[in-house]
Structure 1
Amino acid sequence: MSRKTATIPPDYFEQKYIADIDPWRFRSSAYEREKYQSTIEALGRSRYDRGLEVGCSIGVLTGLLAPRCDTLLAIDASPTAITAARETQPPNVTFAVATLPNDFPPGDFDLIVLSEVLYYFDSDDLQRVAALSVKALRPGGQIIMCHWLGETDYPLTGQAASDQFADAVAVRLPARAIVRDATYRLERLSSH
């Protein structure tokens, strides 16, 4: 399988959601259900003031994160996915169509969730996303990352994406807890 060399464009995701509103079976897959539960369990605090979920898709993980956040901003590159996600969410969730790194949302957050998104970036864009994330993270905040470890044709593997991101933010977030590292890598980055 030949690996793509450039960041995956937004149209790739939009076409997937137009063809099938749940192309990765987020609503029905036992793997996804278990991964989402593990992600919630990996959160280092019971409550967050302001969260950011990057790549929210159709909002399945969003619905699990929302009760843990006073406010949650959920973003995705696909307008079709955002429309579907809006249908089932509580009022503390705000949605926006955004493509990183160019459309990184303004403001600051005490939780940033990057689930199954970083391997879509090439190394340069991943470095920009890392810099923007750490700049937007409030003191004492946390970043949760989760990536499938199987083979894809994306610019980066799940492990490479996680490692590059963690290395890029290590000065500010030196505490790296790898919660799970089989099938997918789930980790929490924090200042202590």
Structure 2
Amino acid sequence: MSLDAGYFADLYKNNDDPWAFRSRWYERRKRQLLMASLPRQYYARVFEPACANGELSAALAERCAELWCQDIDPTAVLLARKRLRNATHVRVDQGHLPGDWPCGRFDLIVLSEIGYYLDPTQWLQVIEQSLASLDDSGGLLACHWLHPIAGCPQTGHQVHTLLARHLPLYPVYRHEEADFLLEYWACRPSVVDLEETCA
């Protein structure tokens, strides 16, 4: 069983940055590594569930034409909307995976710090939905904390084991440290456009 909405409501009750995304060097560095791991300079349409207060979303918004963010918690959604208020190409909705999957296809899906909040059955459904939503040149990026989290039905290692086992995609990038694991899979074996230039 996944953690319910009350778990996240408690986190945001007295704190608009419960994971210290803005202030901790660990989080800033991880975000920079995540962005640097994206093999393409620019994406057409990106989906980021579990966007929290929108810190990673703000970085993703600079690398895409359209970004669809989602979070289970209404406070997080309001914070993300405020953080991204000047980005007219970004949409932030309240929703909970796997039930509230958005329509359309994406060339990047970012599953960051979300998998261990879902039980294995729900996580497998998210994997299936991701595969069905990726376009032919799409990629999936996953990043998760590796230490146990009280009350979570899975660990980060279990989350990535299921991804590796059930994603019929090409592994492009893997970066593992003591604290987190970051991986990128793609629908095609070569994903870096050598002709792509900076704007």
Tell me the TM-score normalized by structure 2. Answer: 0.89
Aligned to 2:138: 141
Q: 1 CA distance for matches of 2:12 and 2:174?
A: 31
**Cα deviation code 1:138-165 (max 9, x no counterpart):** 1110111000111212111101101112
In the superposition, the TM-score normalised over structure 1's length comes to: 0.92
- The percentage of aligned residue pairs carrying the same residue is 36
Quote the Cα distance in structure 1 between the aligned partners of 2:173 and 2:157: 14
Contact 1:113 1:144 in 2 (8 A): yes
On the 8 A contact 1:179/1:188 being kept in 2, the answer is: no
Per-residue CA shift, 1:73-109, capped at 9, x if unaligned? 0100011001011112111111000100011111110
Match of 1:25 in 2: 20
CA RMSD of aligned residues (A): 1.1
Runs of 4+ in 1 over 4 A off after TM superposition: none
**1:183 match:** 179
Q: CA deviation at 1:177?
A: 2.3
Q: Take 2:6 and 2:131, find their aligned partners in 1: how far apart are those partners? A: 27
Distance 1:69 1:81 in 2: 22
Give the CA deviation at 1:10: 2.0
Structure 1 partner of 2:60 = 65
Specify the alignment match of 1:94 in structure 2: 91
What amino acid is aligned across from residue 166 of structure 2 in structure 1?
A
- The corresponding residue for 2:5 is 10
Per the alignment, in what secondary structure is the counterpart of residue 112 of structure 1? Answer: strand
Of 162, 166, 169, 1:168 maps to 166
Task: Judge conservation of contact 1:166–1:176 (CA < 8 Å) in 2.
Answer: no
SS of the residue corresponding to residue 83 of structure 2 reads coil
Structure 1 alignment gaps of length 5 or more = 1-5
Aligned length: 185
Correspondence 1:49 to 2:47 = no
Partner of 1:3: none
Structure 2 unmatched ranges of 5 or more: 190-199
Q: Distance in 2 between matches of 1:91 and 1:15?
A: 30
| Distance change >3 Å, CA 176–CA 157, structure 1 → 2 | farther
Q: Partners in 2 of 1:7 and 1:132 — Cα distance? A: 17
Amino acid at match of 2:161: D
- Where relative contact order (Cα < 8 A, 6+ residues apart) is larger, the structure is 1
Q: Does the CA contact (< 8 Å) of 1:14 and 1:77 recur in 2? A: no
Supply the distance in 2 between the matched residues of 1:28 and 1:178 (Cα, whole angstroms): 26
Structure 2 CA distance for aligned equivalents of residues 70 and 8 of structure 1: 32
Counterpart in 1 of 2:148? Answer: 151
What amino acid is aligned across from residue 175 of structure 2 in structure 1? V
